[in-house]
Amino acid sequence: MNFLFRTQNWFAIFAVLMGTGQAFAQTWVQWSAAAGGNNHYYALTTSATNWTTAEHLAISWGGTLATITTSNEQNFINARFLTGAYEHRPLWIGLIDRHANSRLRQLKKKFGLTTHTTFNWVTGEPLTYSNWKPGQPDDFGEDEFCGTINWHYSDNPPRGTKGDWNDAPLNGTIGFGGTTDGPYFGLVERDTDPSRPVKSSNKYTLATILITVFVILLCIWVTRLKRPKNPTG
């Protein structure tokens, strides 16, 4: 089962990377310095996926899932992306608790001991600003290690403020009402003009695709070798 899950996950990443490129992002929007911004460009992924696939796609576009480091940036995102069809939908951002599945933390959970979330930005930027909904992150269900925005505002009726943060499982949540069910679209951020693709980013994408194909084929080959042969005559 674990092998099947990993293989399916890699197939999903491979399909997204093969079927998309920098030219196929949803509309890029720049938060210009003239408007008090950082001159970075933002866009939504073209499909709803799990957090890992959204981050791989963001990297293939020369960026990462968005890192929201000031209240002004949060307000910009609320005004430009949490509107229309996305006003009441969660979005993935570049927050991840990389220690969520550590052995020590799992042992603490097993024996009912207190655990602490250690969310960090994928870029390594310091987490000096946060916009967590009060009481979050809470690791509800013991598997919420990916960052989202607008999750509580997506419930019906909304239980939070537009754009506030929440922790969620890798594939998003299920069964909490409104439009909170996963998977989610990802909010991508890059610091270079999307009309001028970064050469190294394209190389990274090609390398990712080739490595992914190799790993999938290798796993399939090993699985077939381990499969018992049918007895003959």
Question: What are the b/e assignments for 107-141, b being 16+ CB within 10 Å?
Answer: eeeeeeeebebebbbbeeeeeeeebbbeebbebee
Q: Delineate the domains of the chain, giving CATH numbers in brackets.
A: 28-219 (3.10.100.10)
Per-residue pLDDT band at 230 (split at 50, 70, 90): low
Amino acid 21: pLDDT: 44
CA dist., res. 29 & res. 39, Å (int): 10
More confident: 5 or 231: 231
The torsion angle over the Cα atoms of residues 157, 160, 164 and 167, rounded to 10 degrees, is -80
The residue type of 202 is N
Amino acid 4: pLDDT: 37
Q: CB-side exposure of 19: number of CA atoms within 13 Å?
A: 10
The torsion angle over the Cα atoms of residues 62, 52, 130 and 123, rounded to 10 degrees, is -40
Q: pLDDT of 77-102, one tens digit each? A: 999 999 999 999 999 999 999 876 65
Amino acid 226: pLDDT: 63
pLDDT of residue 43 exceeding 60, the answer is yes
Per-residue pLDDT band at 104 (split at 50, 70, 90): low
Extract the tokens encoding 85.
């069809």
Extract the tokens encoding 29.
């929007």
pLDDT of residue 2 exceeding 80, the answer is no
pLDDT of residue 13 exceeding 60, the answer is no
Q: pLDDT of 110-161, one tens digit each? A: 655 555 668 999 999 999 999 999 999 998 877 899 999 999 999 999 999 9
Amino acid 47: pLDDT: 95
Residue whose entry in the numeric block shows the structure tokens 């998003």:
172
Amino acid 140: pLDDT: 87
Amino acid 26: pLDDT: 81
CA dist., res. 32 & res. 28, Å (int): 12
Amino acid 107: pLDDT: 59
Q: pLDDT of 16-42, one tens digit each? A: 444 444 445 689 999 999 999 999 999
Q: pLDDT of 189-223, one tens digit each? A: 999 999 875 554 444 455 666 777 777 777 677 66
